[in-house]
Structure 1
Amino acid sequence: MFFNSIDFAIFLPIVFVLYWILQRYPLKFQNFLIVIASYVFYGWWDYRFLALIVFSTLIDYSIGLRLQKTKKLNDRKLLLWTSILINIGFLGFFKYYNFFVDNFVTAFSFFGSEIQSNTLNIILPVGISFYTFQTLSYTIDVYREKLEPTKDVIAFAAFVSFFPQLVAGPIERATNLLPQFYIKRQFNYSNAVDGLRQILWGLFKKIVIADNCAQFSNLIFDNYTDYSSSTLMLGAVFFAFQIYGDFSGYSDIAIGTSRLFGFDLKQNFAFPYFSRDIAEFWRRWHISLSTWFRDYVYIPLGGSRGSKWHQIRNVFIIFLVSGFWHGANWTFIVWGGLNALYFLPLLIFKRNRVNTNIVAEESKLPSFKEFCGMLITFFLTVIAWIFFRSNSISDAIDYIYKLFDITIFSLPEIRPTFLFLLLFIFILIEWVGRRNLFALEKIWLKYPRPVRLFIYYLIVVTIFLYGGKEQEFIYFQF
């Protein structure tokens, strides 16, 4: 079920009304409704994969209880690794089996040996990378004794399968989301209105910005040999806005929907294209994944402690693993490695924590230095996105090679004026609202209610009039 579908437009109000009717009953009724609604939401794609979520839920719920009763370190480690291996095993099989088989065969062929292999026609369960990491956070935090294991299986099932963020995040920590299922929720009108406002902005990002950019970025990337350098640069920029509007739009809809039900999810994007260096970009892009890798991989590896060589090693491991998390293709690994190379100078010269405040925090416009930093960071990010978007490494390299020729100074063959205008308005609104959790949070609250309503209706009309051809959310494939 897509957030931008008629199905969800019918599904959400029904669940919302039933949920708040149950407010007068014990809390477990609301939690149980969330579980049922979440399973319906997920099963809309393929009900067979519900078994994976149920199995993962029961395994980690049981292991959490066992960890509480077990004091011996070796036994606790065995329980932890059981959870890790089962969850990562499922993820590895469905997502990476064919990748490893194909590369195993290729490796033997390189040395002159031909072997027969059988790949499988495996359907990737939607959202498996997200809910796998979410359940792992629970087991690891219980093992570390940062969280008391729950005895409420319904609350835990609701935490694992919570439909707003089930298939594409944010990846919630058990320490943040699970305790919210223990507390009686009361309907809060202002929170609900704020949630609707965030949903509206998320839909605008997805339907107007991402889907329109997708039409042109797909055309250019799929036929890149036919276009000039300036057009290829435009295609790469369009993809940068496509993936940002697509993924951050999903996160906004997920967070806003959660607020309708009385839940607070963590911010997942903090205006990353206004970053002044790559380190700041990765503190602002897909925050839930970046912090997950930081807390459960980077810090256990030693983090920034130890020699400079160990720090460099840890950074490369994190970025390469992050790239591999995104998909079973070498393009994602190269994308991760390239971002590690971008990060390296900042680490070596201890400049990776320089830009921790909001850009132009005390002024309306950035300084010349800040503007140059944003421009360079955006350019480097756009180049890296070419690997992310391309079908193969050779395609990405050829695309980048064709970027740098004399035709870079020519007018692009594709010039969608309406999209340029939409992007300008979008960037302007994001810039004005950059101090908030999302662009529309407080941007027009100072105006009278009729003015605010007019602006919101104008956004709705824009969505209907200028929405691009419907595209599946990019991160559903991860």
Structure 2
Amino acid sequence: MVFSSTLFLFYFLPGFLLLYFLAPARFKNVVALVASLLFYAWGGLNFLALFLASVVINFVLIRFMDKAQNWQKRIYLILSIVLNVAMLFYFKYANFFLENVSALGEAAGSSPLTWEKVVLPIGISFFTFEKLTYTIDVYRGVNKPLRSFWDFMLYIMLFPKMIAGPIVRFHEIADQLTDRTAFDTVDQKLAGLFRFMIGLAKKVLIANVLGEQADAIFSLSPAELPVAQAWLGAVAYTFQIYFDFSGYSDMAIGLGRLMGFQFPENFNNPYISRSITEFWQRWHITLGRWMRDYLYIPLGGNRVKPARLYVNLWTVFILSGFWHGAAWNFIAWGAYHGLFLVLDRLFLLRLYRKLGALSILPTFVITVVGWVLFRAETLAGALAYVSRMLGLGVNITAALPYYTREFWFTLVLAAVFSFMAALPRIERWEIRTLAASHFSVRAAAGITAVTALLLLLSMGYIVGSSFNPFIYFRF
């Protein structure tokens, strides 16, 4: 069920909020859990029983781990990690490996393999990461395990964050799972509704408009593309994925605040970054922190020699690319970003410091080219598309075809919203506004008016348009 769908906005969300707000405090978790199970069942009923079974097994293993001593703790930790990674590997990567084994066999003269394609459950990557973080946090002693199985299931299945994050680590909301009274205020609910509407507007008023044209351009043969149109498609997708993904995160954070949960921020104006290193401190922040704490630091972090450090960086980002999708273009995207992270440490950061704010431009260009690897259906298609952007081939000076005023206006609007935080005063204002939890009467009236306007504009678009893609099905 997509947050920006009429089903969710007109039926599921109002019904859930009505029941949740009316329910006594001791029953709010029950309402949230039932709603989360219904939410997932709507799009993944075939996998619900399997996912619930994995939650039960994890809960039991972690309870045993908490009571065990010394080496026995590690055994339960390994069992839980293997279970979760194996489940992710099977559903997300079985097809990828079988396809590649079949291709190698055909190249060697064997018959191609035949198998029944494995269907990818929605949200399995986020689902798996949160089970892993619970296991590891309890093992490290960051938090004691939850006593209630139902609270544990709610942590894993909580619907606002289920399909597109943010990745909420157990210790970040452990106390809130049992007591959210500190955040159960009118101001928090207003802030949550405001944040949800910002995310909805980013998704439907900006990302969808740009995405429709980006899809049209990427559907063309790269050989047919003029250089200008190739760049236009790449830039449109660059803004689409940011406003779509950050919009979903805003909606999840807003829904969380409506319920009394404080989810971590996931985006912080990534396109004003002055290096790829900074980009990954601002883009998908919860994934970056997860990779740092559970992969990069265990590999040695910054404590190792430079050569080993560069290998670790590259390893982590190749794995990050593979986590995003089971295809070579995702692996290439991860390796591409890993390369620039290494180059940053070798010499680029020194160069960017000399450029000052101008370093935003080369960083943005590097990011745009990287998104082509991410967006293309195949690695060969991505490389062909990038070659057109570089002007390789024929027909490099052909004029752009006609695009509507709505598209150009939205593209300019996306650029303004993406880069205006390069002014420190604006960035500080954004942070204060989004983090606010107490409002004066005047501020509350203003936020309410803006929320109502965004709601009307977004609903108008949703009702009047059939283009409403869900780009996270592969994650």
**TM-score, normalising length: structure 2:** 0.90
| 2:8 alignment partner in structure 1 | 8
Cα distance per residue 1:248-289 (max 9 Å; x no partner) = 111100000010000000001111111111001011111111
Whether 2:92 is the aligned partner of 1:95: answer: yes
SS of the counterpart of 2:301? coil
Alpha-carbon distance change, 437 to 408 in structure 1, aligned in 2, over 3 angstroms: farther
Q: 1:306 deviation in Å?
A: 1.3
Query: 2: CA distance between counterparts of 1:409 and 1:195?
Result: 48
Q: Give 1 or 2: higher helix fraction.
A: 2
Counterpart residue identity of residue 137, structure 2: D
Q: 1:5 deviation in Å?
A: 1.4
* Percent of aligned pairs sharing the same letter: 34
Q: 1:348 deviation in Å?
A: 2.4
Query: 2: CA distance between counterparts of 1:137 and 1:451?
Result: 39
- 1:303-342 superposed matches below 5 A: 303-342=301-340
Alpha-carbon distance change, 274 to 113 in structure 1, aligned in 2, over 3 angstroms: same
Q: 1:440 deviation in Å?
A: 6.0
Query: 1: CA distance between counterparts of 2:365 and 2:58?
Result: 42
Alpha-carbon distance change, 214 to 440 in structure 1, aligned in 2, over 3 angstroms: same
SS of the counterpart of 1:474? coil
Whether 2:29 is the aligned partner of 1:41: answer: no
Match of 1:248 among 240, 246, 249: 246
Contact kept? 1:214, 1:239, Cα under 8 Å: yes
Alpha-carbon distance change, 167 to 452 in structure 1, aligned in 2, over 3 angstroms: closer
- 1:47-446 superposed matches below 5 A: 47-73=45-71, 75-110=72-107, 112-185=108-181, 187-223=184-220, 224-349=222-347, 351=349, 369-405=355-391, 411-429=399-417, 431=420, 434-435=427-428, 436-437=430-431
Query: 1: CA distance between counterparts of 2:62 and 2:172?
Result: 17
Query: 2: CA distance between counterparts of 1:142 and 1:453?
Result: 41
Alpha-carbon distance change, 22 to 202 in structure 1, aligned in 2, over 3 angstroms: same
Q: 1:350 deviation in Å?
A: 8.8
5+ unaligned residues in a row in structure 1: which ranges?
356-367
Larger CA deviation: 158-167 vs 414-423: 414-423
Q: 1:429 deviation in Å?
A: 4.3
Alpha-carbon distance change, 124 to 285 in structure 1, aligned in 2, over 3 angstroms: same
SS of the counterpart of 1:147? coil
Alpha-carbon distance change, 461 to 89 in structure 1, aligned in 2, over 3 angstroms: same
5+ unaligned residues in a row in structure 2: which ranges?
none
Q: 1:13 deviation in Å?
A: 2.0
Contact kept? 1:170, 1:288, Cα under 8 Å: yes
Contact kept? 1:319, 1:339, Cα under 8 Å: yes
Alpha-carbon distance change, 87 to 70 in structure 1, aligned in 2, over 3 angstroms: same
Counterpart residue identity of residue 33, structure 2: V
Query: 2: CA distance between counterparts of 1:464 and 1:408?
Result: 40
Q: 1:89 deviation in Å?
A: 0.9
Corresponding residue pairs, total: 458
RMSD: 2.4
Query: 2: CA distance between counterparts of 1:415 and 1:302?
Result: 50
**TM-score, normalising length: structure 1:** 0.89
Query: 1: CA distance between counterparts of 2:68 and 2:402?
Result: 64
Counterpart residue identity of residue 245, structure 1: F
Alpha-carbon distance change, 141 to 234 in structure 1, aligned in 2, over 3 angstroms: same
